[in-house]
A and B are shown apart, each in its own frame.
Chain A
């Protein structure tokens, strides 16, 4: 007899570690290679019985993917057995590209997006610094537009390999 899909056990309380691990699978829909944890968007996880609270911060205030991300976070945690999931939008401290992990930078680069370098809060000098082409590594690149296909990116062209690429903005 086919027992059918295993029912989700809503009485089990997930461990915070299990929640963090599950959030590693939730990607930013606009950058499908990096997770919300690697981006540094998840600020806190609190588990009280089967109630799970996640504090999450937007990269940009008007990020249109934010609602989808919150819904994905909530859905993923429910599969761990949480009966109630509360996802809170937290603003402070404001997200910085320095909050992103080294793994995120490596994955962005492999995906063809020039990652932001750590700037320690000196955003303006970083905006003037040369940017390496993620395809050929050349620093002979020009800023084409300070805004790209998503709020977090800007457009560059490479004079060496003549490709256009995006850079994740230092913020």
Chain B
């Protein structure tokens, strides 16, 4: 499938929803990461996280550009002029940034999932999506390497770093499964080869996370029921985040350069 005209209306709607979900995950995580700019514990880490934040926001743009090809929507309008209730990100990425261990563990969990997702999306039958995924996959190598090293440092650093890592894991664990939870139209998209088959993706992503935890000797928390509710449900933290993230664009909506 080389372009939008090869999709029937049902698949097109499902793909718009899937792209919005993926873009919102990246955009909100990117913004959370950017909150450390100027505050990270080391200069190199400050620079690194600012870079990762920029990459994630760049990935959000990639997905939104694919969406533009389907419905002509404006990526900037979607990012800066939607209300919290219209965002479709998972809860994991909107949680307040917490301490350094929380931020780096969340980044690792997301990177582990995204690595598996991108590898599969790069083989999507929908060419624009496959192309965008191939682009993002190249950058994701650097993210996973970085957050994976932090998982090791936190686990083997000091008693304090390990305590914080384990506390962060307890907090983040219930939110993890939502990353691979399928939405209403995903099954049809997977059948058409547009998005990866959900079970395979879940197994691979979960396996990657469990293997990494085992490698650093951290026990994974007990399996929990996935956080109830779909991607339309958000916490108050997202509202506060959006007020900050959207404030400049909303201050003068007609301006296209500052």
Taking beta carbons and an 8 Å cutoff, which residues of A are in contact with B? 60-64, 89, 91-96, 123-124, 127, 144-149, 151, 155, 169, 171
Please count the residue pairs between chain A and chain B whose beta carbons lie under 8 angstroms apart in the complex: 74
Q: B145 — nearest CB in chain A belongs to which residue?
A: A146
The residue from A61, A94, A127, A146 contacting B61, defined by CB atoms under 8 A apart: A61
For B, the interface residue count at a CB cutoff of 8 angstroms equals 28
Which residues of chain B are within 8 angstroms of A148 by Cβ–Cβ distance? 47, 51
8 A Cβ contacts from B146-174 to A = 146
Contact A94 B135 (CB under 8 A): yes
Which residues of chain B are within 8 angstroms of A124 by Cβ–Cβ distance? 141
Contact B131 A91 (CB under 8 A): yes
Query: Contact mask B39-55 → A, CB, 8 Å, 1/0?
Result: 00000110110111011
Taking beta carbons and an 8 Å cutoff, which residues of B are in contact with A? 44-45, 47-48, 50-52, 54-59, 61-62, 65, 127, 131-132, 134-136, 138-139, 141-142, 145-146
Which residues of chain B are within 8 angstroms of A151 by Cβ–Cβ distance? 51, 54-55, 58, 139
Docked CA distance A60–B138 (Å): 9
Contact A155 B44 (CB under 8 A): yes
Docked CA distance A64–B131 (Å): 20
Contact A62 B48 (CB under 8 A): no
Contact A147 B142 (CB under 8 A): yes
A144-B44, A147-B47, A148-B47 known; A62-B55 Cβ under 8 A:
yes
